[in-house]
Protein backbone atom coordinates (compact mmCIF):
# COMPACT_ATOMS: atom_id res chain seq x y z
CA UNK A 1 0.00 0.00 0.00
CA UNK A 2 3.01 2.32 -0.10
CA UNK A 3 4.94 4.13 2.62
CA UNK A 4 2.60 7.06 3.28
CA UNK A 5 -0.95 7.18 4.68
CA UNK A 6 -3.80 7.47 2.15
CA UNK A 7 -5.26 10.95 1.69
CA UNK A 8 -8.68 9.78 2.88
CA UNK A 9 -7.39 8.55 6.22
CA UNK A 10 -9.18 9.25 9.51
CA UNK A 11 -8.12 9.12 13.12
CA UNK A 12 -9.23 7.01 16.05
CA UNK A 13 -8.06 8.52 19.33
CA UNK A 14 -5.56 11.33 19.80
CA UNK A 15 -2.42 12.40 18.00
CA UNK A 16 -0.89 8.96 18.44
CA UNK A 17 -4.11 7.09 17.75
CA UNK A 18 -4.94 4.68 14.93
CA UNK A 19 -5.32 5.51 11.26
CA UNK A 20 -8.55 4.31 9.70
CA UNK A 21 -9.23 3.92 5.99
CA UNK A 22 -12.62 2.88 4.58
CA UNK A 23 -12.35 1.42 1.07
CA UNK A 24 -15.94 0.25 0.56
CA UNK A 25 -19.45 1.05 1.70
CA UNK A 26 -22.59 -0.10 -0.08
CA UNK A 27 -25.58 -2.44 0.06
CA UNK A 28 -23.18 -5.34 0.60
CA UNK A 29 -21.56 -3.86 3.69
CA UNK A 30 -18.62 -1.84 4.97
CA UNK A 31 -14.90 -2.56 4.96
CA UNK A 32 -11.47 -1.06 5.42
CA UNK A 33 -8.17 -1.09 7.27
CA UNK A 34 -6.95 0.16 10.61
CA UNK A 35 -3.30 1.01 11.30
CA UNK A 36 -2.74 1.47 15.06
CA UNK A 37 0.36 3.10 16.52
CA UNK A 38 1.16 -0.19 18.30
CA UNK A 39 0.09 -3.83 17.84
CA UNK A 40 -3.42 -4.61 19.05
CA UNK A 41 -4.13 -7.05 21.87
CA UNK A 42 -7.88 -7.39 21.14
CA UNK A 43 -8.40 -8.41 17.51
CA UNK A 44 -11.93 -6.98 17.18
CA UNK A 45 -13.39 -3.68 16.04
CA UNK A 46 -16.86 -2.59 17.12
CA UNK A 47 -18.98 -1.09 14.35
CA UNK A 48 -22.41 0.55 14.49
CA UNK A 49 -24.32 1.51 11.35
CA UNK A 50 -27.83 2.70 12.13
CA UNK A 51 -29.35 0.06 14.43
CA UNK A 52 -26.84 -2.59 13.31
CA UNK A 53 -24.12 -3.03 15.92
CA UNK A 54 -21.52 -5.77 15.56
CA UNK A 55 -18.03 -6.80 16.52
CA UNK A 56 -15.94 -7.65 13.46
CA UNK A 57 -12.65 -9.57 13.62
CA UNK A 58 -9.47 -7.76 12.64
CA UNK A 59 -7.26 -9.79 10.31
CA UNK A 60 -3.57 -8.95 10.18
CA UNK A 61 -2.58 -7.87 6.67
CA UNK A 62 0.75 -8.77 5.11
CA UNK A 63 1.42 -5.12 4.21
CA UNK A 64 2.58 -2.23 6.41
CA UNK A 65 1.61 1.44 6.23
CA UNK A 66 4.34 3.95 7.18
CA UNK A 67 5.84 1.23 9.38
CA UNK A 68 2.55 0.39 11.10
CA UNK A 69 0.85 -2.98 11.08
CA UNK A 70 -2.33 -3.11 8.99
CA UNK A 71 -5.49 -4.87 10.15
CA UNK A 72 -8.36 -5.60 7.75
CA UNK A 73 -12.03 -5.63 8.77
CA UNK A 74 -15.22 -6.36 6.81
CA UNK A 75 -18.87 -6.13 7.81
CA UNK A 76 -20.62 -8.11 5.06
CA UNK A 77 -24.21 -7.23 5.90
CA UNK A 78 -26.98 -5.49 3.94
CA UNK A 79 -26.62 -1.88 5.09
CA UNK A 80 -28.36 1.32 4.01
CA UNK A 81 -26.53 4.51 3.02
CA UNK A 82 -25.81 7.32 3.78
CA UNK A 83 -25.37 6.38 7.41
CA UNK A 84 -23.92 7.49 10.72
CA UNK A 85 -21.13 5.02 11.48
CA UNK A 86 -19.41 4.53 14.83
CA UNK A 87 -16.21 2.50 15.17
CA UNK A 88 -14.19 1.60 18.24
CA UNK A 89 -11.11 -0.39 19.24
CA UNK A 90 -10.46 -0.76 22.97
CA UNK A 91 -10.99 2.77 24.42
CA UNK A 92 -10.69 4.67 21.12
CA UNK A 93 -13.86 5.68 19.25
CA UNK A 94 -14.65 7.51 16.04
CA UNK A 95 -17.98 8.75 14.62
CA UNK A 96 -18.34 9.31 10.88
CA UNK A 97 -21.02 10.12 8.35
CA UNK A 98 -20.49 7.83 5.35
CA UNK A 99 -21.81 8.27 1.81
CA UNK A 100 -21.58 5.20 -0.42
CA UNK A 101 -20.53 5.38 -4.07
CA UNK A 102 -21.04 2.64 -6.65
CA UNK A 103 -17.45 3.01 -7.82
CA UNK A 104 -14.53 4.06 -5.67
CA UNK A 105 -14.07 4.52 -1.95
CA UNK A 106 -16.92 6.06 0.07
CA UNK A 107 -17.08 9.72 1.03
CA UNK A 108 -16.42 10.06 4.76
CA UNK A 109 -17.06 13.08 7.00
CA UNK A 110 -16.51 13.53 10.76
CA UNK A 111 -19.76 13.36 12.74
CA UNK A 112 -21.06 14.10 16.21
CA UNK A 113 -20.83 10.98 18.39
CA UNK A 114 -24.04 9.00 18.87
CA UNK A 115 -24.83 6.49 21.65
CA UNK A 116 -24.42 2.81 20.97
CA UNK A 117 -27.68 1.16 19.91
CA UNK A 118 -28.81 -2.38 19.35
CA UNK A 119 -31.92 -4.47 18.74
CA UNK A 120 -32.75 -8.16 19.06
CA UNK A 121 -35.33 -10.55 17.65
CA UNK A 122 -36.76 -13.77 18.94
CA UNK A 123 -39.33 -16.24 17.61
CA UNK A 124 -42.21 -17.87 19.43
CA UNK A 125 -41.54 -21.33 20.78
CA UNK A 126 -44.33 -22.80 18.66
CA UNK A 127 -42.99 -21.46 15.34
CA UNK A 128 -41.82 -23.66 12.50
CA UNK A 129 -38.50 -22.22 11.38
CA UNK A 130 -36.23 -22.54 8.38
CA UNK A 131 -32.47 -22.34 8.83
CA UNK A 132 -30.42 -21.83 5.66
CA UNK A 133 -26.71 -22.67 5.94
CA UNK A 134 -25.25 -21.01 2.85
CA UNK A 135 -21.79 -20.65 1.29
CA UNK A 136 -22.21 -16.90 0.63
CA UNK A 137 -23.33 -13.89 2.62
CA UNK A 138 -26.64 -12.11 2.24
CA UNK A 139 -25.72 -9.07 0.20
CA UNK A 140 -26.94 -7.04 -2.74
CA UNK A 141 -26.20 -9.91 -5.10
CA UNK A 142 -29.06 -12.31 -5.69
CA UNK A 143 -27.99 -15.89 -6.36
CA UNK A 144 -29.74 -19.17 -5.68
CA UNK A 145 -28.97 -18.97 -1.98
CA UNK A 146 -30.80 -15.67 -1.46
CA UNK A 147 -33.56 -16.15 -4.02
CA UNK A 148 -34.55 -19.62 -2.85
CA UNK A 149 -34.44 -18.47 0.79
CA UNK A 150 -36.81 -15.60 0.00
CA UNK A 151 -39.23 -17.96 -1.73
CA UNK A 152 -39.03 -20.62 0.99
CA UNK A 153 -39.55 -18.05 3.76
CA UNK A 154 -43.18 -17.69 2.65
CA UNK A 155 -43.76 -21.24 3.94
CA UNK A 156 -42.30 -20.66 7.43
CA UNK A 157 -42.99 -18.50 10.45
CA UNK A 158 -39.31 -17.58 10.85
CA UNK A 159 -36.30 -17.87 8.54
CA UNK A 160 -32.65 -17.66 9.61
CA UNK A 161 -29.92 -17.29 6.98
CA UNK A 162 -26.31 -17.99 7.91
CA UNK A 163 -23.33 -17.29 5.67
CA UNK A 164 -19.68 -16.59 6.49
CA UNK A 165 -20.62 -13.25 8.13
CA UNK A 166 -22.72 -15.12 10.71
CA UNK A 167 -19.55 -16.91 11.81
CA UNK A 168 -17.23 -13.89 11.73
CA UNK A 169 -19.39 -11.13 13.22
CA UNK A 170 -20.74 -10.94 16.79
CA UNK A 171 -23.88 -9.02 17.61
CA UNK A 172 -27.64 -8.99 17.66
CA UNK A 173 -29.44 -10.66 14.77
CA UNK A 174 -29.99 -8.42 11.75
CA UNK A 175 -33.20 -8.36 9.71
CA UNK A 176 -32.04 -8.48 6.09
CA UNK A 177 -35.52 -8.32 4.56
CA UNK A 178 -39.02 -9.05 5.73
CA UNK A 179 -39.04 -12.57 7.23
CA UNK A 180 -35.26 -13.03 6.77
CA UNK A 181 -33.02 -12.81 9.88
CA UNK A 182 -29.22 -13.00 9.89
CA UNK A 183 -27.84 -14.39 13.19
CA UNK A 184 -24.39 -13.00 14.07
CA UNK A 185 -22.78 -15.64 16.25
CA UNK A 186 -19.05 -14.86 15.93
CA UNK A 187 -18.36 -18.54 16.51
CA UNK A 188 -15.66 -19.06 13.83
CA UNK A 189 -14.13 -15.64 12.96
CA UNK A 190 -11.26 -17.02 10.86
CA UNK A 191 -13.04 -19.92 9.16
CA UNK A 192 -12.82 -20.10 5.37
CA UNK A 193 -15.02 -22.88 3.94
CA UNK A 194 -12.68 -23.23 0.98
CA UNK A 195 -9.67 -24.00 3.17
CA UNK A 196 -10.84 -26.02 6.15
CA UNK A 197 -13.76 -27.56 8.05
CA UNK A 198 -15.26 -26.41 11.33
CA UNK A 199 -13.28 -27.39 14.40
CA UNK A 200 -15.33 -29.29 17.00
CA UNK A 201 -15.38 -26.19 19.22
CA UNK A 202 -16.52 -23.92 16.38
CA UNK A 203 -19.30 -26.28 15.36
CA UNK A 204 -20.44 -26.61 18.98
CA UNK A 205 -20.46 -22.82 19.53
CA UNK A 206 -22.35 -22.20 16.30
CA UNK A 207 -24.99 -24.85 16.98
CA UNK A 208 -25.46 -23.68 20.57
CA UNK A 209 -25.98 -20.12 19.36
CA UNK A 210 -28.61 -21.31 16.90
CA UNK A 211 -30.34 -23.47 19.48
CA UNK A 212 -30.60 -20.44 21.79
CA UNK A 213 -32.26 -18.44 19.00
CA UNK A 214 -34.61 -21.20 17.88
CA UNK A 215 -35.88 -22.30 21.26
CA UNK A 216 -38.33 -25.18 20.86
CA UNK A 217 -39.12 -24.50 17.23
CA UNK A 218 -39.42 -27.34 14.76
CA UNK A 219 -36.69 -26.71 12.22
CA UNK A 220 -35.99 -27.51 8.59
CA UNK A 221 -32.32 -26.97 7.78
CA UNK A 222 -31.30 -26.26 4.18
CA UNK A 223 -27.57 -26.94 3.71
CA UNK A 224 -25.90 -25.50 0.61
CA UNK A 225 -22.26 -26.31 1.37
CA UNK A 226 -21.13 -29.68 2.78
CA UNK A 227 -18.99 -28.24 5.60
CA UNK A 228 -22.13 -27.00 7.38
CA UNK A 229 -23.00 -30.62 8.22
CA UNK A 230 -21.01 -30.43 11.48
CA UNK A 231 -23.38 -27.68 12.66
CA UNK A 232 -26.68 -29.01 11.32
CA UNK A 233 -26.35 -32.46 12.86
CA UNK A 234 -26.10 -30.89 16.33
CA UNK A 235 -29.47 -29.10 16.08
CA UNK A 236 -32.44 -30.61 17.89
CA UNK A 237 -35.68 -31.49 16.10
CA UNK A 238 -34.12 -30.64 12.74
CA UNK A 239 -35.01 -32.08 9.35
CA UNK A 240 -32.07 -31.74 6.96
CA UNK A 241 -32.36 -30.83 3.28
CA UNK A 242 -29.16 -30.88 1.23
CA UNK A 243 -29.36 -28.39 -1.64
CA UNK A 244 -26.55 -29.49 -3.97
CA UNK A 245 -25.89 -26.37 -6.06
CA UNK A 246 -22.39 -27.10 -7.41
CA UNK A 247 -19.77 -29.79 -7.76
CA UNK A 248 -18.06 -28.02 -4.86
CA UNK A 249 -14.85 -30.03 -4.89
CA UNK A 250 -14.07 -28.87 -8.44
CA UNK A 251 -14.26 -25.17 -7.61
CA UNK A 252 -10.72 -23.84 -8.15
CA UNK A 253 -10.49 -22.03 -4.81
CA UNK A 254 -11.68 -24.99 -2.71
CA UNK A 255 -8.83 -26.99 -1.16
CA UNK A 256 -10.54 -28.67 1.80
CA UNK A 257 -11.80 -32.25 1.21
CA UNK A 258 -15.60 -32.26 0.93
CA UNK A 259 -16.65 -35.65 -0.43
CA UNK A 260 -16.87 -37.32 2.99
CA UNK A 261 -19.29 -34.70 4.30
CA UNK A 262 -21.26 -34.75 1.07
CA UNK A 263 -21.66 -38.52 1.13
CA UNK A 264 -22.80 -38.37 4.76
CA UNK A 265 -25.27 -35.59 3.96
CA UNK A 266 -26.79 -37.59 1.12
CA UNK A 267 -27.42 -40.46 3.52
CA UNK A 268 -28.68 -38.32 6.43
CA UNK A 269 -30.83 -35.76 4.64
CA UNK A 270 -34.56 -36.31 4.45
CA UNK A 271 -34.37 -34.72 1.01
CA UNK A 272 -31.47 -34.03 -1.36
CA UNK A 273 -31.99 -31.41 -4.05
CA UNK A 274 -29.93 -31.22 -7.26
CA UNK A 275 -29.83 -28.29 -9.67
CA UNK A 276 -28.61 -30.33 -12.65
CA UNK A 277 -28.66 -33.86 -14.04
CA UNK A 278 -24.95 -34.34 -13.27
CA UNK A 279 -25.48 -33.42 -9.62
CA UNK A 280 -28.56 -35.63 -9.41
CA UNK A 281 -26.51 -38.60 -10.62
CA UNK A 282 -23.85 -37.76 -8.03
CA UNK A 283 -26.36 -37.76 -5.17
CA UNK A 284 -27.89 -41.06 -6.31
CA UNK A 285 -24.38 -42.56 -6.47
CA UNK A 286 -23.82 -41.42 -2.87
CA UNK A 287 -26.96 -43.30 -1.79
CA UNK A 288 -29.26 -40.34 -1.13
CA UNK A 289 -32.55 -41.34 0.52
CA UNK A 290 -34.69 -39.05 -1.64
CA UNK A 291 -33.60 -36.85 -4.56
CA UNK A 292 -35.48 -33.97 -6.20
CA UNK A 293 -34.21 -32.24 -9.34
CA UNK A 294 -34.84 -28.54 -8.76
CA UNK A 295 -33.12 -26.40 -11.40
CA UNK A 296 -32.36 -22.77 -10.85
CA UNK A 297 -34.98 -20.17 -11.67
CA UNK A 298 -35.60 -16.47 -12.13
CA UNK A 299 -37.72 -13.65 -10.89
CA UNK A 300 -41.24 -13.41 -12.28
CA UNK A 301 -41.11 -11.45 -15.56
CA UNK A 302 -42.69 -8.02 -15.77
CA UNK A 303 -43.04 -7.16 -19.49
CA UNK A 304 -44.99 -3.99 -18.66
CA UNK A 305 -41.79 -2.55 -17.17
CA UNK A 306 -39.68 -3.25 -20.27
CA UNK A 307 -38.59 -0.16 -22.24
CA UNK A 308 -40.32 0.48 -25.56
CA UNK A 309 -36.93 0.66 -27.26
CA UNK A 310 -33.98 -1.53 -26.39
CA UNK A 311 -30.38 -0.32 -26.59
CA UNK A 312 -27.97 -1.65 -29.17
CA UNK A 313 -26.45 -3.86 -26.50
CA UNK A 314 -25.44 -7.42 -25.69
CA UNK A 315 -25.12 -8.25 -21.99
CA UNK A 316 -23.32 -10.65 -19.66
CA UNK A 317 -24.40 -10.68 -16.01
CA UNK A 318 -22.20 -12.35 -13.40
CA UNK A 319 -18.71 -12.54 -12.00
CA UNK A 320 -15.77 -13.09 -14.34
CA UNK A 321 -13.83 -16.08 -13.04
CA UNK A 322 -11.20 -18.35 -14.54
CA UNK A 323 -13.82 -20.34 -16.47
CA UNK A 324 -14.89 -17.23 -18.41
CA UNK A 325 -13.94 -17.39 -22.11
CA UNK A 326 -12.75 -14.02 -23.42
CA UNK A 327 -12.40 -15.40 -26.93
CA UNK A 328 -16.17 -15.91 -26.99
CA UNK A 329 -16.74 -12.48 -25.46
CA UNK A 330 -14.76 -10.97 -28.32
CA UNK A 331 -16.73 -13.12 -30.79
CA UNK A 332 -19.95 -11.61 -29.40
CA UNK A 333 -18.55 -8.11 -29.99
CA UNK A 334 -17.59 -8.98 -33.56
CA UNK A 335 -21.01 -10.49 -34.26
CA UNK A 336 -22.81 -7.13 -34.11
CA UNK A 337 -20.48 -4.22 -35.01
CA UNK A 338 -22.98 -1.56 -33.91
CA UNK A 339 -23.67 -3.08 -30.47
CA UNK A 340 -22.03 -2.45 -27.12
CA UNK A 341 -21.20 -5.53 -25.04
CA UNK A 342 -21.98 -4.79 -21.39
CA UNK A 343 -20.37 -6.89 -18.68
CA UNK A 344 -22.09 -6.50 -15.29
CA UNK A 345 -20.26 -8.06 -12.35
CA UNK A 346 -16.96 -8.31 -10.52
CA UNK A 347 -13.89 -9.12 -12.59
CA UNK A 348 -11.67 -11.53 -10.63
CA UNK A 349 -9.14 -12.27 -13.36
CA UNK A 350 -6.68 -10.25 -15.42
CA UNK A 351 -8.21 -8.93 -18.63
CA UNK A 352 -6.43 -10.06 -21.81
CA UNK A 353 -5.02 -7.34 -24.06
CA UNK A 354 -6.68 -6.31 -27.30
CA UNK A 355 -10.35 -6.61 -26.35
CA UNK A 356 -12.78 -4.61 -28.44
CA UNK A 357 -13.39 -1.07 -27.25
CA UNK A 358 -17.11 -1.80 -27.48
CA UNK A 359 -16.81 -4.18 -24.52
CA UNK A 360 -17.76 -2.17 -21.45
CA UNK A 361 -17.02 -3.49 -17.95
CA UNK A 362 -19.66 -1.91 -15.72
CA UNK A 363 -18.75 -3.46 -12.36
CA UNK A 364 -21.21 -4.83 -9.85
CA UNK A 365 -24.78 -3.61 -9.49
CA UNK A 366 -27.49 -4.26 -6.94
CA UNK A 367 -30.04 -6.81 -8.10
CA UNK A 368 -32.80 -4.35 -9.04
CA UNK A 369 -30.41 -2.25 -11.14
CA UNK A 370 -29.02 -5.34 -12.84
CA UNK A 371 -32.50 -6.56 -13.76
CA UNK A 372 -33.31 -3.14 -15.26
CA UNK A 373 -30.06 -3.25 -17.23
CA UNK A 374 -31.03 -6.63 -18.70
CA UNK A 375 -34.35 -5.29 -19.93
CA UNK A 376 -32.51 -2.60 -21.94
CA UNK A 377 -30.30 -5.09 -23.80
CA UNK A 378 -31.15 -7.31 -26.78
CA UNK A 379 -29.17 -10.54 -26.21
CA UNK A 380 -27.80 -12.28 -23.10
CA UNK A 381 -24.62 -14.36 -23.33
CA UNK A 382 -22.90 -16.98 -21.15
CA UNK A 383 -19.39 -17.59 -22.56
CA UNK A 384 -17.93 -20.31 -20.30
CA UNK A 385 -15.13 -22.77 -20.98
CA UNK A 386 -16.04 -26.45 -20.91
CA UNK A 387 -14.96 -28.39 -17.82
CA UNK A 388 -16.31 -30.99 -15.41
CA UNK A 389 -17.31 -28.14 -13.10
CA UNK A 390 -19.25 -26.28 -15.80
CA UNK A 391 -20.87 -29.52 -16.99
CA UNK A 392 -22.75 -29.54 -13.65
CA UNK A 393 -23.80 -25.85 -13.76
CA UNK A 394 -27.36 -24.66 -14.32
CA UNK A 395 -26.86 -20.89 -14.74
CA UNK A 396 -29.24 -18.58 -12.88
CA UNK A 397 -28.42 -15.80 -15.33
CA UNK A 398 -30.06 -17.70 -18.21
CA UNK A 399 -33.41 -17.66 -16.41
CA UNK A 400 -32.95 -13.97 -15.62
CA UNK A 401 -32.17 -13.22 -19.28
CA UNK A 402 -35.34 -14.98 -20.46
CA UNK A 403 -37.43 -13.22 -17.80
CA UNK A 404 -36.11 -9.93 -19.20
CA UNK A 405 -37.12 -10.94 -22.75
CA UNK A 406 -33.59 -11.74 -23.92
CA UNK A 407 -32.58 -14.61 -26.20
CA UNK A 408 -29.70 -16.56 -24.66
CA UNK A 409 -26.47 -17.68 -26.32
CA UNK A 410 -24.47 -20.03 -24.11
CA UNK A 411 -21.85 -22.73 -24.24
CA UNK A 412 -22.62 -26.37 -23.28
CA UNK A 413 -23.11 -26.91 -19.55
CA UNK A 414 -25.34 -28.88 -17.20
CA UNK A 415 -28.45 -26.92 -18.10
CA UNK A 416 -30.48 -29.60 -19.86
CA UNK A 417 -33.69 -28.00 -18.64
CA UNK A 418 -32.75 -24.79 -20.45
CA UNK A 419 -31.90 -26.23 -23.85
CA UNK A 420 -35.59 -26.78 -24.59
CA UNK A 421 -36.54 -23.22 -23.62
CA UNK A 422 -37.50 -20.79 -26.38
CA UNK A 423 -34.71 -18.46 -27.42
CA UNK A 424 -31.81 -20.52 -26.04
CA UNK A 425 -28.93 -21.34 -28.41
CA UNK A 426 -25.95 -23.54 -27.46
CA UNK A 427 -22.69 -22.82 -29.28
CA UNK A 428 -19.59 -25.03 -29.15
CA UNK A 429 -16.89 -22.73 -30.55
CA UNK A 430 -16.15 -19.10 -31.38
CA UNK A 431 -17.54 -19.28 -34.92
CA UNK A 432 -20.88 -20.79 -33.87
CA UNK A 433 -21.06 -18.45 -30.85
CA UNK A 434 -20.58 -15.44 -33.09
CA UNK A 435 -23.20 -16.68 -35.56
CA UNK A 436 -25.72 -17.41 -32.80
CA UNK A 437 -25.30 -13.94 -31.29
CA UNK A 438 -25.74 -12.28 -34.69
CA UNK A 439 -28.85 -14.34 -35.37
CA UNK A 440 -30.40 -13.70 -31.95
CA UNK A 441 -29.67 -9.98 -32.18
CA UNK A 442 -31.04 -9.56 -35.69
CA UNK A 443 -34.03 -11.91 -35.70
CA UNK A 444 -35.67 -11.66 -32.26
CA UNK A 445 -39.08 -10.00 -32.47
CA UNK A 446 -41.38 -8.61 -29.72
CA UNK A 447 -43.54 -11.73 -30.00
CA UNK A 448 -40.45 -13.85 -29.32
CA UNK A 449 -39.64 -11.81 -26.22
CA UNK A 450 -43.18 -12.36 -24.98
CA UNK A 451 -42.71 -16.11 -25.48
CA UNK A 452 -39.48 -16.03 -23.46
CA UNK A 453 -41.30 -14.28 -20.62
CA UNK A 454 -44.19 -16.75 -20.74
CA UNK A 455 -41.72 -19.63 -20.33
CA UNK A 456 -39.90 -17.81 -17.49
CA UNK A 457 -43.22 -17.21 -15.73
CA UNK A 458 -43.41 -20.95 -15.06
CA UNK A 459 -39.78 -21.16 -13.90
CA UNK A 460 -39.77 -18.92 -10.82
CA UNK A 461 -38.21 -19.27 -7.39
CA UNK A 462 -41.68 -19.48 -5.86
CA UNK A 463 -42.39 -22.55 -8.00
CA UNK A 464 -39.11 -24.17 -6.95
CA UNK A 465 -39.78 -23.46 -3.25
CA UNK A 466 -43.31 -24.87 -3.43
CA UNK A 467 -42.02 -28.10 -4.98
CA UNK A 468 -39.33 -28.52 -2.31
CA UNK A 469 -41.76 -27.89 0.57
CA UNK A 470 -44.37 -30.24 -0.92
CA UNK A 471 -41.80 -33.03 -1.27
CA UNK A 472 -40.41 -32.42 2.23
CA UNK A 473 -43.84 -32.49 3.89
CA UNK A 474 -45.28 -35.30 1.80
Res 37: pLDDT? 82
Pairing of strands 408-410, 424-426: parallel
Instruction: Please give the pLDDT value at position 15.
Output: 40
Read off the pLDDT band of 408 (50, 70, 90): very high
Distances (CA, A) of 233 to 181, 238, 282, 304, 350: 21, 8, 22, 46, 41
Closest CA to 31 of 98, 90, 118: 98
Share of the chain above pLDDT 70, in %: 93
Question: Looking at the domain that runs over 128-297+466-472, which CATH code has it been given?
Answer: 3.40.50.2000
Q: Could you tell me the pLDDT band of residue 244, with boundaries at 50, 70 and 90? A: very high
8 A C-beta contact, residue 227 and residue 258: yes
Check residue 126 and give its pLDDT. 53
Per the omega criterion (within 30 degrees of 0), is the bond before 82 cis?
A: yes
Domains 10-110 and 128-297+466-472 in one fold: no
- Judge whether residue 473 has pLDDT over 50: yes
pTM for the model: 0.91
Average pLDDT over residues 355-371: 93
For residues 289-300, average pLDDT: 95
CATH code assigned to 10-110: 2.60.40.380
Q: Domain 303-457 belongs to what architecture? A: 3-Layer(aba) Sandwich (3.40)
Domain segments of the chain as ranges: 10-110, 128-297+466-472, 303-457
Q: Which of 245, 259, 160 is nearest to 206 (CA)?
A: 160
- Determine which of 242-246, 249-253, 333-337, 436-440 has the lowest per-residue pLDDT on average: 249-253
Q: In this predicted model, what pLDDT tens digit does every residue of 44-75 receive, in sequence order? A: 888 988 788 899 999 998 788 888 899 999 99
Q: What are phi and psi of 23, to 5 degrees?
A: -110, -10
Using one digit for the tens of pLDDT, what is the confidence trace for 349-359? 999 999 999 99
Q: Note the maximum CA span of the chain.
A: 68
Which are the contacts of 426, defined by CB distance < 8 A and separation ≥ 6?
A: 410, 411, 412, 419
Return the higher-pLDDT residue of 63 and 245. 245
Amino acid sequence: MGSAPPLTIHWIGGVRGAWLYLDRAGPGGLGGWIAPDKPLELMWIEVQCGLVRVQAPLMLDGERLAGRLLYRFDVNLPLSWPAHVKLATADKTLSLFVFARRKGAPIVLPATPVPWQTSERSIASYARALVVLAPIDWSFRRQRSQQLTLALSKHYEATYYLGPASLRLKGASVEAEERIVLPLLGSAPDLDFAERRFSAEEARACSEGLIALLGNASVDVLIQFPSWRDVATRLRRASIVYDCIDDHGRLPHVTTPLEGDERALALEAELSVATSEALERRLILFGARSVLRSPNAGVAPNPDAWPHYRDAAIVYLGAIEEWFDFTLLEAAAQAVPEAEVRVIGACNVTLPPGLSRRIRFMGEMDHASAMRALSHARVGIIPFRRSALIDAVDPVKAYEYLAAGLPVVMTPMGAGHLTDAPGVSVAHDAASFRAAVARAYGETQPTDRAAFAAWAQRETWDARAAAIVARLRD
